[in-house]
Amino acid sequence: MKLARLLSLTGLSIFLYTPIIVVLGSSFNGPRQMAFPPQDPSISWYTNFFSDTSWTTSLFNSIVIAVFSSTFATVIALVTALLLWQKDSKLHQTFVGAVSLPFLLPGIVFAVSISLVTASLGLLGSLVGIILGHTALLVAIPLVTARLGLAQIEQIQVEAAKLMGYSDRQILTKLVIPIIRPYLVAGALFSLIISMNEYIVAFMVSGFSIETLPIKIYNSQRYGFEPTLSVGTMVYMMFSLVLLSYIAASGKLWSLLGIKES
C-alpha cells in the first residue's frame, strides 16, 4: 500500500512539475528558439526581459493592478465579514452573496459583463477599470479568510473586553483586528497572486490599450515563441512562490485551508 502511495504521489509530482521545469530550462536557452535541455545556457533572456520596456511596463501594470485590487478587495471583504459577524441578518447574508457573485459566475460571462459596466463608466482601457474588475472578482477570497479569522474569536473574549469598559471601536481595533490580521494578510496575498495571473477580465477591460504580463505573454505567442516568454512565466512563478512561502511561514496555512492540526 505504501508503494502504491509512493508511486501515485511521484506520478503526481512529475505531472504537476514537468511543464514548469521545461519552462525554467528553456528560459536559460542561449539561442532564440525554445529548447529543452537548454542549449548554450545563458541568462541573456533575463537581462533582455528586464531591459525591454514593453515587458517591464506590463509587469509594472500587473503589480499596480494587483496591489490596488487586492487592497480594495480586502477592505470590502472585511466590512462584509464584520457586518455578518456583528449581526447574522438576511441583509448581511445578501451582502455576502452579492459580493461573492462575480467569483462564482463563469469567467467569460463576468468578464464580458464587467467590461460593459466599465465601458459605461468611461473606464474601458484604463488601469482603474481593470482594478475595478479584479476587485469585484477577488472579494470572495479575503471574505473566506476573514470569516475564518472571525470564527477564531470567542464570545467570552468580546464579553471580557466589554466588562473592562472597551468601546465598540476599541473592541474592533484592539481585539478583533489583531486576531484576524494574519487571515486578512493571507487573503490579500492570495488575491494579489490571482490578480497578477488573471487574464480574461484584464483582457476584456483592457480595450487593447493596456497590457498586463499575462496579456503580454498571450499576445507575444502570436509572433512565435522565444525564451523571454519563459522568463516572464518564471518571474511570475517566483513571485507566487515567495508570497506562498510567506503565508506558509506565518503558521496559519492549515487553518486558512480549514484544517485543524492535531
Partner 1 sequence: MNKQQLPIAAPHLLLVLYCIIVSFAPLLFLFTTSVSTTDPLTGQVISYGLNNFQEVFYDTYYAVQIAYTVGLVSAITVVTLSMAVPLTLAIAKLKNVARSAWVVMLLASLALSEVLTAFAWQLLLSHSSGIPGWLSYLGIISGDKSWWPSFPAMFVVMVYFSLPIAMILLLPAIRRLDPFLIESAYTMGFSKIAVFFLILIPSLRGPIFQTAILTFLLNIGGFVISQQLGKPSDWMFAVFIADFMRTFNVPFAVALSFCLLIAVLLCLAVANLIFGRKPVETR
Minimum distance, C-beta of residue 24 to partner 1, in the bound complex (Å):
10
Cell (9 digits) for 158: 468580546
Find the binder of partner 1 among 63, 64, 67, 79 (CB under 8 A): 79
Size of the site for partner 1 (CB under 8 A): 79
* 251 belongs to the binding site for partner 1 (CB under 8 A): no
* 64 belongs to the binding site for partner 1 (CB under 8 A): no
Output 81-90 pairs: Cβ under 8 A, ≥24 positions apart: 81/143, 81/146, 81/147, 81/150, 82/146, 82/150, 82/172, 82/176, 84/147, 85/147, 85/150, 85/153
* 83 belongs to the binding site for partner 1 (CB under 8 A): yes
* 76 belongs to the binding site for partner 1 (CB under 8 A): yes
Neighbouring residues of 3: CB distance < 8 A, sequence distance ≥ 6: none
Residue 4: HSE in the Cβ half-sphere, 13 Å Cα cutoff:
1
* 50 belongs to the binding site for partner 1 (CB under 8 A): no
Q: Considering only CA atoms, which of 192, 173, 187 is closest in space to residue 62?
A: 192
| Subset of residues 189 to 218 that bind partner 1, contact rule: CB under 8 A | 193-194, 197-200, 203-204, 214, 217-218
Minimum distance, C-beta of residue 204 to partner 1, in the bound complex (Å):
6
* 51 belongs to the binding site for partner 1 (CB under 8 A): no
* 68 belongs to the binding site for partner 1 (CB under 8 A): no
- Among the listed ranges 32-40, 46-54, 155-163, 175-183, the one in contact with partner 1 (CB under 8 A) is 32-40
Q: Are 189 and 120 in contact (CB under 8 A)?
A: no
For cell 482594478, the residue is 131
Minimum distance, C-beta of residue 104 to partner 1, in the bound complex (Å):
6
Which is closer to partner 1, CB of 61 or CB of 156?
61
Find the binder of partner 1 among 14, 43, 160, 237 (CB under 8 A): 237
- Among the listed ranges 48-56, 63-71, 101-109, 179-187, the one in contact with partner 1 (CB under 8 A) is 101-109
Which is closer to partner 1, CB of 164 or CB of 260?
260
| Subset of residues 122 to 161 that bind partner 1, contact rule: CB under 8 A | 132, 135-136
* 17 belongs to the binding site for partner 1 (CB under 8 A): yes
* 116 belongs to the binding site for partner 1 (CB under 8 A): yes
Q: What CA–CA distance (Å, rounded) separates 199 from 78?
A: 26
Q: Cα-atom radius of gyration of the chain, to the nearest Å?
A: 22
* 14 belongs to the binding site for partner 1 (CB under 8 A): no
In 47-73, which positions are buried (b, 16+ CB within 10 angstroms) versus exposed (e)?
A: eebeeeeebeebbebbbebbebbbbbb
DSSP state letter for 52: -
